[in-house]
Amino acid sequence: MPKLTIDKRDVEVPAGATILDAALRLGIPVPTLCYLDGCTPGTSCMVCVVKVKNPDRFLPSCGMRAEEGMEVESETDEVREARRQALELLLSDHPGDCIAPCQSICPARMDIPKMIRQAAAGDFAAAAATARAALVLPATLGRVCPAPCEKGCRRADLDAPLAIRLLHRRAADTDLASGASLLPPCKPSTGKRAAVIGAGPAGLAAAWHLVQEGAACTVFDDQDQPGGMLRRSVTEAQLPREVLDAEIAVIARLGVEFRMQKSIGRDVAMADLRKDFDAVLVAAGSLPATPNEPHTNPLLPEGAQVDRRTFQTTVRGLFAAGDVVHHHRMAVRAVADGATAADSILQFLAGAPVTAPRRAFSTRLHEPTPEEMARLAAGASASARVSPGGGDAAGLTPEEARQEAPRCLHCDCRKAHACKLRDYSDAYGASPGRYHGTRRPFEQDMQHANVVYESGKCISCGLCIQIAARAKEPLGLTLIGRGFSVRVGVPFSTTIAEGLKKAAAECVAACPTGALAKK
- The answer to whether residue 129 scores a pLDDT higher than 60 is yes
Written as one string, the DSSP assignment of 472-514 is T-SS--EEESSGGG-EEE-GGG--HHHH-SSSHHHHHHH-SSS
Q: What is the CATH number of domain 431-518?
A: 3.30.70.20
Query: Beta strand 71-73 with 49-52: parallel, antiparallel or unpaired?
Result: antiparallel
93 close to 86: Cβ distance less than 8 angstroms: no
Q: What is the CATH number of domain 193-349?
A: 3.50.50.60
Residues of the chain with CATH 3.10.20.740: 3-75
The angle at the Cα of 427, spanning 25 to 338, to the nearest 5 degrees, equals 130
d(C-alpha 486, C-alpha 378), whole Å: 24
- The answer to whether residue 483 scores a pLDDT higher than 80 is no
Q: Which whole number is the average pLDDT over 331-340? A: 96
**Residue burial 471-486, b: 16+ Cβ < 10 Å; e: rest:** eebebbbeeeeeeeee
pLDDT, residue 14, reads 96
**Residue burial 36-45, b: 16+ Cβ < 10 Å; e: rest:** beebebbbbb
The torsion angles phi and psi of 359, rounded to 5 degrees, stand at: -70, 135
pLDDT, residue 41, reads 87
Contacts of 255 (CB under 8 A, 6+ apart): 186, 211, 216, 217
Residues of the chain with CATH 3.30.70.20: 431-518
Tell which residue, 383, 84, 338, 296, has the closest CA to residue 206.
338
d(C-alpha 345, C-alpha 194), whole Å: 8
pLDDT, residue 296, reads 53
Share of the chain above pLDDT 70, in %: 98
Query: pLDDT confidence of 332, banded at 50, 70, 90?
Result: very high
457 close to 391: Cβ distance less than 8 angstroms: no
Query: pLDDT confidence of 292, banded at 50, 70, 90?
Result: very low
Q: Which whole number is the average pLDDT over 312-341? A: 92
**Residue burial 378-400, b: 16+ Cβ < 10 Å; e: rest:** ebbeeeeebebeeeeeebbeeeb
pLDDT, residue 289, reads 46
- Mean pLDDT, the chain, rounded, equals 94
Helices (H), 92-227: 101-105, 112-120, 124-135, 138-144, 164-178, 201-212
- The answer to whether residue 287 scores a pLDDT higher than 70 is no
Residues of the chain with CATH 3.50.50.60: 193-349
Q: Tell me, what amino acid is at 128? A: A
Specify the CATH class of 3-75 in words.
alpha beta
Share of the chain above pLDDT 90, in %: 86
- The answer to whether residue 245 scores a pLDDT higher than 90 is yes
d(C-alpha 208, C-alpha 217), whole Å: 9
pLDDT in tens, 158-176: 999 999 999 999 999 999 9
- The answer to whether residue 434 scores a pLDDT higher than 60 is yes
- In terms of phi and psi (left: phi > 0; alpha: psi -120 to 50; beta: otherwise), the region of 183 is beta
Q: Which whole number is the average pLDDT over 331-352? A: 97
| CA 359 to chain CA mean position, Å | 9
Tell which residue, 221, 234, 206, has the closest CA to residue 330.
234
Candidate CATH numbers 3.60.15.10, 3.40.50.150, 3.30.1540.10, 1.10.1060.10; the one for domain 101-181+365-385+398-407? 1.10.1060.10
d(C-alpha 63, C-alpha 358), whole Å: 35
pLDDT in tens, 200-213: 999 999 999 999 99
pLDDT in tens, 131-142: 999 999 999 999
Q: Tell me, what amino acid is at 495? A: T
d(C-alpha 303, C-alpha 315), whole Å: 10
**Local structure of 166: helix, strand or coil:** helix
214 close to 186: Cβ distance less than 8 angstroms: yes
Q: Which whole number is the average pLDDT over 216-227? A: 97
pLDDT, residue 196, reads 98
Tell which residue, 429, 495, 488, 494, has the closest CA to residue 463.
488
pLDDT, residue 286, reads 58
- Which has the minimum average pLDDT: 168-177, 385-394, 431-440? 431-440
- The answer to whether residue 500 scores a pLDDT higher than 80 is yes
Q: Which whole number is the average pLDDT over 133-154? A: 97
Tell which residue, 355, 334, 369, 340, has the closest CA to residue 443.
369
